[in-house]
Structure 1
Amino acid sequence: MRSKPLVAATSLLVTFMIFYLPSQALSTSWAYSFVVWDDHLYVISDEYVTHINDEIGHVTNYSDMEQYGGNFSNTYRKGTKYYSIEGISTDVAIAVNEGNGKYRKAVREGEYTYNRGVSAYTMSVLGTIAVLLILFLVYTRFFQKEVR
C-alpha cells in the first residue's frame, strides 16, 4: 500500500508543475524603436541631426526578440555608435550613427530598469521550488507517521 500515496503525490507534483510553472515568451513585441544608454531608454525619432559632438558609447547588445542589459537596442546592431548632440543635453536626447554620415535623434524616454531586481519568471520558479519543497516535507512526514 506504500505505492498509492507515492503515485498520488507524484501525480499531484507533476500536475502542479505543468499548470503553475509559467512559460517564457519566445519573442517581444516592441511599441517603438529604441536604444539604451547610461541606464536610460531613448526612443528613436524621425528627425536627423547634423551637429554632433563627442562619441559617448555604442550598442553592446542587440535583439529584436529579447531584452538585455547594457547599451541595448531593438533596432541597431552591436557596435552602432552614440554621440552627444551640439547644444542638447544627453538628458534630453542623443544621436545614433546610421552610417553614410547620417545621425538619427533619439529622445530620452526614461530610466531603463530591465536588469534591476529579480524578474517575474525567476520569482515564479523560486516560488515553485519552495512549494514543491514544502509539499515534499509534508508528504515525507505524513508517510513516516503512516509507516510507524
Structure 2
Amino acid sequence: MSKLKILINICAACVWVASCSTSSPDWAYNFVVWNDFMYVVSDEYTENIGGVIGEVTKFSDSEGIYSGNFSNKLEEGTKYYEVEGDSTDVSIAIEEGSRYRIAYRNGEYKK
C-alpha cells in the first residue's frame, strides 16, 4: 500500500473517531424527575394549577444517571406544580414562562 493511501486511511479513521466522541447523546424524550419518579414532558398545557411541589435542582443534556429533581430539558429553578384534579401519580405541571406544561408520570427513575 502506498504511503498516500496509508495517510488517507489514518486521516479518515481520526475523523471518524473524533465525530463519534464529540457527538452528545440524546434521550428519547424530554423529562423531569420529581421524588424519584420520571415525568415525560408533553405538548399539553393546563391552567388548573395547584401548589408548588418542587423545582429542577440539576440540569444536564448529557445522558447519565443523576440525583435530585433532575431534567434533561429544563433549567435549574424551573418550578413543578400539582395539577388540580389529578394525582401526582398521574401528572404534574411544569412552569414555562406564564404557562404550565403537563408532564405525565412514566415510572420510577433508576439511579
- Structure with greater strand share of residues: 2
Percent of residue pairs identical: 57
In the alignment, structure 1 segments of 5+ residues that lack a partner are 1-23, 116-148
Q: TM-score, normalised by structure 2?
A: 0.76
Quick check: 1:52–1:95 contact (8 Å CA) kept in 2?
A: yes
In structure 2, give the amino acid aligned to 1:33: N
Matches within 5 A, 1:7-86: 27-67=24-64, 68-86=66-84
Encode CA deviations 1:66-100: one digit per residue, 9 max, x unaligned: 3311110011000100000000000000000011x
In structure 1, give the amino acid aligned to 2:73: T
* Greater relative contact order, per chain length (Cα 8 Å cut-off, separation 6+): 2
Distance 1:81 1:98 in 2: 9
Q: TM-score, normalised by structure 1?
A: 0.57
Quick check: 1:53–1:83 contact (8 Å CA) kept in 2?
A: yes
Structure with max Cα Rg = 1
What is the root-mean-square deviation of aligned Cα atoms in Å?
1.7
Task: Rate the CA distance shift 1:69–1:25 in 2: closer, same or farther, 3 A.
Answer: farther
Quick check: 1:26–1:65 contact (8 Å CA) kept in 2?
A: no
In the alignment, structure 2 segments of 5+ residues that lack a partner are 1-20
Q: Which residue of 1 aligns with 2:92?
A: 94
Task: Rate the CA distance shift 1:96–1:29 in 2: closer, same or farther, 3 A.
Answer: same
Encode CA deviations 1:32-59: one digit per residue, 9 max, x unaligned: 0000000000000110010100000000
Name the count of aligned residue pairs. 90
- Structure with greater helix share of residues: 1
Distance 1:25 1:69 in 2: 25
